[in-house]
Structure 1
Amino acid sequence: MRLKLLSPGEMSADQKETYDEAIAGKRGAPPAPMMAWLNSPEMARHATRLGAVLRFDTIFPAKLSEIAILVTARHFSSHYEWYAHKRLALKGGMDAEIIEAIRDRRTPPFDDPKAKTIYDVAKSLHEARGVSPALYEEAIKVLSLRGLVEIIGLCGYYTMVSMTLNTFEFGLPEGETSELA
């Protein structure tokens, strides 16, 4: 890791306030990238709040929202993000075959049109830097306008997460090895 993570006792008042708010929320613990973001306390506060909304308060259950997160983690080969969100995806009910396909950069076999559309949108956002008119129309029809906005938000937020984790070289927990090549 390139960064010394502060303990709560080493934090400034602004940093500690953001940290305390994060651990009091639905996560119950500070998200890993927030520990780097605390070097800009106001950014950390807003980013952590946005992350909580995107993780817990979209129209999608984890089984679906985690598709966008895993596609983003794989796009950036963000080892820590992949490790954390693979577990959350499995806990949320995502089929392991879908996770393996995303890991291997193969199109997963989907039986749910929402899941397929989320995957297609996330891949297109990262690879084509947008969505085609046909994919846009499909996303509005299958996901709704709100759903499309939330998938864009998930991809954007987890892009920032991936960049943070990769830049500061967040390691995996002791004894864990990365699945990403």
Structure 2
Amino acid sequence: MARLEYAASDLPGPDGIIAERIRARRGGTLTPLDLMLLHSPPLAEGWNGLLGAVRTASTLTADVRELAILRIAALNGADYEWRAHEPLGLAGGLTDADLAVLRGERAPDALAPRLAAVLAYTDAMTSRVIVPDDVFAGLREHFTDREIVELTVTVGAYNLVSRFLVALQVGGGEREAA
């Protein structure tokens, strides 16, 4: 159960316009995450813009993006985030064996080198914040400067998502992506 009541989904005036923009990005529905964010419509609007860009305007492939998101969910104990993104990861090319690595059930060397580099980078950013030079060098072997910037923003943004979800205990059994 969430620590706060979810906000109303039918906000009046300018706040209602913000809710409608979020609904439009989501294909017509609001998720529990959205309803929690709508306690502060200006922050919900900024969140919608940032996460919309991370999810739809990046050049990262779906397997790379979802691997980072799922690993963050696993590291931070964000079950709602995992449930929302597991189907997206599988649809984006991750395998059940890849997901086992992300959950810590298999060794990282089971991943393709490109995905292993993403995993190491995501782990460093999430757990230690400081990225060791060798981890960054491994990432540069597989990605352009733009992709590295987009991956870095994705990891940062989804650490924000997971920390918000976990702190406020958002979500029960819903399968919606942030």
Q: Give the TM-score taking structure 2 as reference length.
A: 0.86
User: Who is 2:138 aligned against?
Assistant: 138
> Alpha-carbon deviation of 1:123?
0.7
RMSD: 2.0
Give distance in 2, aligned partners of 1:100 and 1:172: 22
Give distance in 1, aligned partners of 2:158 and 2:105: 18
Give distance in 2, aligned partners of 1:154 and 1:31: 20
Letter in 2 for 1:22: I
In the TM superposition, 1:51-70 aligns within 5 A as 51-70=51-70
Give distance in 2, aligned partners of 1:52 and 1:30: 14
Letter in 2 for 1:65: R
Q: Give the TM-score taking structure 1 as reference length.
A: 0.85
Give distance in 2, aligned partners of 1:8 and 1:33: 12
In the TM superposition, 1:153-172 aligns within 5 A as 153-172=153-172
Alignment deviations for residues 81-108 of structure 1 (CA, whole Å, 9 cap, x no partner):
0111112111222111111221136443
User: Who is 1:147 aligned against?
Assistant: 147
Alignment deviations for residues 134-179 of structure 1 (CA, whole Å, 9 cap, x no partner):
22223223111111111111111111111111122123227x9xxx
Give distance in 1, aligned partners of 2:57 and 2:114: 17
Q: Does the 8 Å contact 2:62/2:92 carry over to 1?
A: yes
Q: Taking every aligned residue pair, what percent have the same amino acid on both sides?
A: 24
User: Who is 1:6 aligned against?
Assistant: 7
Give distance in 2, aligned partners of 1:74 and 1:94: 15
Give distance in 1, aligned partners of 2:36 and 2:105: 29
Summarize the Cα distance change of 1:171–1:22 in structure 2 as closer, same or farther, 3 Å threshold: closer
Give distance in 2, aligned partners of 1:148 and 1:18: 31
Q: Does the 8 Å contact 2:8/2:35 carry over to 1?
A: no
Give distance in 2, aligned partners of 1:103 and 1:150: 23
Gap runs ≥5 in structure 1? 177-181
Q: Does the 8 Å contact 1:83/1:172 carry over to 2?
A: no
Give distance in 2, aligned partners of 1:32 and 1:153: 23
Give distance in 2, aligned partners of 1:138 and 1:15: 45
Secondary structure at 2:59 match in 1: coil
> Alpha-carbon deviation of 1:6?
2.6
* Number of equivalenced pairs: 172
User: Who is 1:91 aligned against?
Assistant: 91
Give distance in 1, aligned partners of 2:152 and 2:30: 23
User: Who is 2:37 aligned against?
Assistant: 37
User: Who is 2:111 aligned against?
Assistant: 110
Alignment deviations for residues 101-129 of structure 1 (CA, whole Å, 9 cap, x no partner):
21136443122x32121111101111221
User: Who is 1:179 aligned against?
Assistant: none
Give distance in 2, aligned partners of 1:144 and 1:72: 22
